[in-house]
Chains A and B, each alone.
Chain A
Amino acid sequence: MDLIKLDNLYKTYHLGEMDVPVLKGVTLSIGHGEMVALMGASGSGKSTLMNILGCLDRPSAGHYWLDGQEVSRLSADARAMVRNRKIGFVFQSFNLLARTSALENVMMPLSYTASGLSDREGSRQAQAMLERVGLGDRLDHHPSQLSGGQQQRVAIARALVNRPPLVFADEPTGNLDSRTSVEILRMFQQLNAEEGITIILVTHDATVASYAKRTIHIRDGMIEEGVYGHEGIKSSA
């Protein structure tokens, strides 16, 4: 069964009197263990689609099954639970808590987990994740004491700490130099290959997208699959 299945998804924003349609009937499925790049120019509906896929937003119409569960009609609290258990987020700007150690940053999502791990278990799990991303010797460092690549790796460890089947990376290399970018993207590939975690890279950079096995283009709220092109880059201003 597919991990993600979208059926004729619409999203329309209401700006005053005007209706602005952003997604115009997106149908899409992504299987377990895939590594997908989601590409599109700004204004194409890429961010909106990612927000809906990440259960941060709800579609205006259509259906969205995540891991067999219909999530398009869930309440805000229920979506928070889904995000906590099934989805990990990695952001362009890392979004780490300042003046908080790497270990505590990674432990943060655990405090919202209903199962309620003890502090010691949680810290062991977080430590294991940090070792997994190669930061086993930086547990007590604060974000300001870490390089950009290290910070992003802490963010990845944080995304993985609840062992979600799906990880969203929203421009994960946007704030990194090219060498570190490669490191980070390699790590995503590795996680995808070794642990079978489904990874969705949201980007407008074809180089980044090339690390994924499959690319989904979105333009004007519609899906154009499998085409490697540079239209997005050209039209973005």
Chain B
Amino acid sequence: MRAFYRTTLMAFKALRRNIMRSALTTLGIVIGVAAVIAMTEIGQGTNTAVQRTIKSMGADNLLIQPGTASSGGVSFGSGSVFTLTPQDSDAILRECPAVAEVAPIVRARTQVVYGNRNWVPVYIYGTTPSFLKVRDWEDLEEGEGFTDQDVRNGTAVCVLGQTIVRELFADESAIGKEVRVQNVTFRVVGVLSKKGANMMGVDQDDILLAPWRTIKYRVSGTSASTANQSAAAATTDPSQKVNSLSGLYPNQGTSLYQTPTPTQVADTPQPIRFTNVDQILCKAASTKEIDLAIKQITELLHERHRIKTGQPDDFSIRNMTEMSKALGSTSQTMTRSLLFVALVSLVVGGVGIMNIMLVSVTERTREIGLRMAVGARARDILRQFLVEAVVLCMMGGLIGILLGRGVAVLVRVSLGWPTEISVLAMVGAVVVSAGVGMIFGYYPAWKASRLDPIEALRYE
């Protein structure tokens, strides 16, 4: 331990003896590490900003839709049966830890009227205030969103997207005005901020948000006929189901299961679905937890809907795989390119170190000879020069970290780019610069240790 301390001290003294050259030698490492640190901080900041943007497009969102009704092999398409309830939505939020926010959605498609103007928005959504959280849409342009109380009471209030505001109100402020939707008068309480088109090219600002009870009971009626035109063919009354096979298979009528006794029925009450919602929109707690969230939701809905293993689901869950992949690959590409730049710059720096250490060994040949004459063994010499190179590199690394932080701060202050401190990059920089010192310092040190003391003492 003392030997190590002494060698380190000796290395510092040797480097201080030629401070200018030491500084210039390590400059390669300083610049390399500074570049890595600055780029990591700026890159991570940018990455986070990009990720936030992609997330605001709904990358973490999961859309739960009711399953399809099918009859005799004829499927009526997604949304043709009513299996999702507002209670499902509450249960998901309560029981799935991987889900951060949940918003039930009731859809409608109809005309919105203000004064002598009218407009048919792409989306008329009845939902809860958490919809805005799910969609990362919380900062409104004007006014405020409706509340949970409004949802409970079925109040006729709404929040409008920018496109509707432009179409109906032109230059006026929409706040406090009243619009008519199927003869129900909604008071506009808020205007959403601009979001633009989504990935499919559909204008996301063409939206009207209102409490779901209001839309459900006062506007939409049965939403299937309005939201999904093709589903109108599917009726919910089982007696009217098309079943062309019943005549062919007389055994069809035989029940597979025992008829439950009244006691059993009393013990396991079947929920009576008073209300259904068209969709449930969820937000996973994080991008990584999307798959976990899907699993948890599937299990929960199986339980709630009493779906046995092997039976087809009466719901489907969609995620934004493409977007979340884009999310992941963005950060991965950035990390990799940064790592590559880091490696190149450090190798360049390391070659500089090796060069100067070789010069230093040649220059100090007599010193090496002398040290050997007074009793230094080959490994003592090796250690001395190796420690010198490592100390040089680590000093360079530390100065580089400070410089890199400085550059990052400067960039943030002067250009306003987002930056983020990366402890990992700092630790990595120190470790890598020490490693560079060890790798590139080894050859000169080995060369020094192999000198013949007689030759070295006579060297001019």
A residues lining the B interface (CB < 8 Å)? 51, 54, 56-57, 76-77, 80-81, 83-85, 88-89, 91, 95, 97-100, 104, 108-109, 111-113, 116, 118-119, 158, 162
Contacts and interface: CB of A to CB of B under 8 A. Distances in A.
Contacts of B370: 89, 91, 95, 97
Contact of A112 (B17, B380, B453, B457): B380
A100 B375 contact: no
24 contacts: A51-B454, A56-B372, A56-B373, A56-B454, A77-B377, A77-B378, A77-B379, A81-B377, A84-B374, A84-B375, A88-B374, A89-B370, A89-B373, A91-B457, A95-B370, A95-B457, A97-B367, A99-B17, A111-B10, A112-B376, A112-B377, A113-B375, A116-B2, A116-B3
A109 B378 CA distance: 14
Given A89-B370, A97-B367, A112-B375, 10 more contacts: A76-B378, A80-B376, A88-B374, A89-B373, A91-B457, A95-B366, A95-B457, A100-B13, A100-B17, A108-B374
A80 B372 contact: yes
B52 interface: no
A76 B376 CA distance: 10
Contacts of A91: 370, 457
B302 interface: no
Interface string B6-24: 1000100100010000000
Given A57-B454, A95-B370, A111 B6 contact: yes
Contact of A80 (B2, B3, B17, B375): B375
Contacts of B453: 56
Contacts of A100: 13, 17
B371 interface: yes
Nearest to A104: B13
A40 to B, nearest CB: 17
A85 B454 contact: no
A54 B371 CA distance: 14
B378 A83 contact: no
Contacts of B374: 83-84, 88-89, 108-109, 112, 158, 162
- Which DSSP category, helix, strand, loop or mixed, fits chain B's interface? helix
Nearest to B18: A99
Contacts of B367: 95, 97
A60 B378 CA distance: 22
Contacts of A158: 374
Contacts of A112: 371, 374-377, 380
A2 to B, nearest CB: 23
A158 B367 CA distance: 14
Contacts of A113: 375
Interface centre among A83, A85, A116, A119 (most CB of B within 10 A): A83
A126 to B, nearest CB: 13
A108 B371 contact: yes
A100 B16 CA distance: 10
Nearest to A57: B454
Nearest to A83: B375
Contacts of A83: 373-375
Nearest to A91: B457
A186 B378 CA distance: 35
Interface centre among A54, A80, A98 (most CB of B within 10 A): A80
A113 B2 CA distance: 12
Contacts of B377: 76-77, 80-81, 112
A104 B6 CA distance: 12
A77 B375 CA distance: 9
A89 B380 CA distance: 19
Interface string B362-394: 000011011111111111100000000000000
A95 B459 CA distance: 11
A118 B1 CA distance: 12
B330 to A, nearest CB: 53
A89 B372 CA distance: 11
A111 B17 CA distance: 19
Nearest to B10: A111
Contacts of A109: 374-375
B375 A85 contact: yes
B18 to A, nearest CB: 8
Interface in B436-454: 453-454
Contacts of A54: 373
Contacts of A119: 6
Nearest to B370: A95
